Homo-oligomer: A and B are copies of this chain.
Amino acid sequence: MRVAVDAMGGDKAPHEIVKGSVLAARQFQNDEIVLVGDEKAIQGELNSHGNPPKNITIYHAPQVVGMDDPATYSIRQKINSSITRSVELVAKGEATAVVSAGHTGAAVAASTLHLRTLKGVRRPGIAVAIPTRHGICLIIDAGANIACKPEHLFQYGVMATVLSKHMFGIENPRVGLLNIGEENAKGNDLTKETFALISGSGLNFVGNVEGREIFDSKADVVVCEGFVGNVLLKFAEGLAMNLLSTIKAGAMKSFWSKMGLWLCKPTFEALRAKMDFSEYGGVPLLGVNGVCIICHGRSDSKAIQNAIRVALQLSKNNVNEHIVSELERTNALAATVM
């Protein structure tokens, strides 16, 4: 398998991106990594790693999409950017997956434009795995699509069900609809119509799920429209960081609590690891014809290494093929019901 890595995307690019790619190349010696971006800059970074692995190559792309560039503009104007070139390698079949820690909007736009969607898929969606009381919950969509229709949400349910099954080993993933109440009739037009649509599908639908129930492991997959998913996950990130720093600042006020915090250190480190996006290493954009892993802008080498692992897993587990056949199955079922 061959993974194209956008070497210029992210707050710590190219240094941490190249470093993470070298770590992954050493870990997955039967696979290949193509570093896409400014050749000189990448070569300089690679040289600092002594004897760089043979399964890493460079693909030159002189332009970079800045974090402030509008997504669509940058994709249409900067055709030589590292993200566009990375995605093109997948589109041309020269790589099976792309990994980027750059501008999320640009990665989504480039993937949708050049890879197109999988057969039957209306809109791609970003699936984020969050730790719950008893496992993992996939929240989809985290912001790829902010003009969401009931059919998109239904398809997100199908795609994340496949991911949950083939990546997290959940036998029959329970799908919930993020809503403002548990009762069937709750919510806005979008959630009401989606509720009816998913109820009649072949999905293992558990109904409406409220914000706080996500952590009670009420569902393995929770679908929501991209605007909601995006603000929700960013809010959660802010809250978690704020809580941990408040605990730290509070404990620093006295000798005894400082000592207590030191004794609790392993607990906090385990928690931080559980919450740390770099452990999961990027999130997949599901529904495009190729594997696209989007990383946090702050990604370090460990996050990039993990993202490459995730990209390889999705490719090797044929997640996209399963999505296409699962969509066909549920569509056929819906046609029978109607």
Does B232 lie within 8 Å of A246, measured CB to CB? no
Does B256 lie within 8 Å of A263, measured CB to CB? yes
Does A234 lie within 8 Å of B254, measured CB to CB? no
A269-292: which have CB < 8 Å to B? 270-271, 274-275
Least CB separation from A179: chain B residue: B231
In the assembled complex, A146 has its CB within 8 A of some CB on chain B: yes
Q: How far is the CA of A188 from the CA of B191 in the complex (A)?
A: 17
Report chain B residues within 8 Å CB of A185: 70
Q: How far is the CA of A43 from the CA of B213 in the complex (A)?
A: 36
A263-B263, A271-B247 known; A211 vs B227 contact (CB < 8 Å) = no
Report chain B residues within 8 Å CB of A233: 211
A48-104: which have CB < 8 Å to B? 68, 70
A228-B227, A231-B224, A231-B228 known; A240 vs B243 contact (CB < 8 Å) = yes
A152-210: which have CB < 8 Å to B? 178-181, 183, 185, 187-188, 191, 210
A217-261: which have CB < 8 Å to B? 224, 226-228, 230-243, 245-247, 250-251, 253-254, 256-257, 259-261
Most B CB contacts (10 A, CB to CB) among A105, A185, A267 go to A267
Rounded to whole Å, the gap between the CB of A197 and the closest CB of chain B is: 18
- Give per-residue flags for A114-127: 1 if the beta carbon is below 8 A from chain B beta carbons, else 0: 00000000000000
Q: How far is the CA of A68 from the CA of B180 in the complex (A)?
A: 13
- Which residue in B133, B188, B242, B271 is a CB contact (below 8 Å) of A227? B188
Does A271 lie within 8 Å of B243, measured CB to CB? yes
Does B257 lie within 8 Å of A266, measured CB to CB? yes
- Which residue in B147, B250, B264 is a CB contact (below 8 Å) of A271? B250
A211-B231, A232-B231, A260-B262 known; A267 vs B250 contact (CB < 8 Å) = yes
Q: How far is the CA of A215 from the CA of B236 in the complex (A)?
A: 10
A227-B180, A271-B243, A274-B246 known; A238 vs B263 contact (CB < 8 Å) = no
A228-B231, A234-B211 known; A146 vs B259 contact (CB < 8 Å) = no
Q: How far is the CA of A178 from the CA of B275 in the complex (A)?
A: 24
Q: How far is the CA of A263 from the CA of B247 in the complex (A)?
A: 13
Rounded to whole Å, the gap between the CB of A246 and the closest CB of chain B is: 6
A240-B243, A257-B267, A259-B260 known; A214 vs B230 contact (CB < 8 Å) = no
Rounded to whole Å, the gap between the CB of A227 and the closest CB of chain B is: 5
Q: How far is the CA of A288 from the CA of B256 in the complex (A)?
A: 49
Report chain B residues within 8 Å CB of A274: 246
**30 A–B pairs (Cβ distance < 8 Å), ordered by A:** A70-B183, A70-B185, A178-B231, A179-B231, A180-B230, A211-B231, A211-B233, A212-B237, A212-B238, A215-B238, A215-B239, A231-B232, A232-B235, A243-B243, A243-B271, A246-B274, A247-B267, A250-B266, A250-B267, A250-B270, A251-B264, A254-B266, A257-B263, A257-B264, A260-B261, A260-B262, A260-B264, A260-B265, A260-B267, A261-B267
Nearest 4 pairs between A and B by C-beta? A260-B263, A211-B234, A212-B238, A211-B235
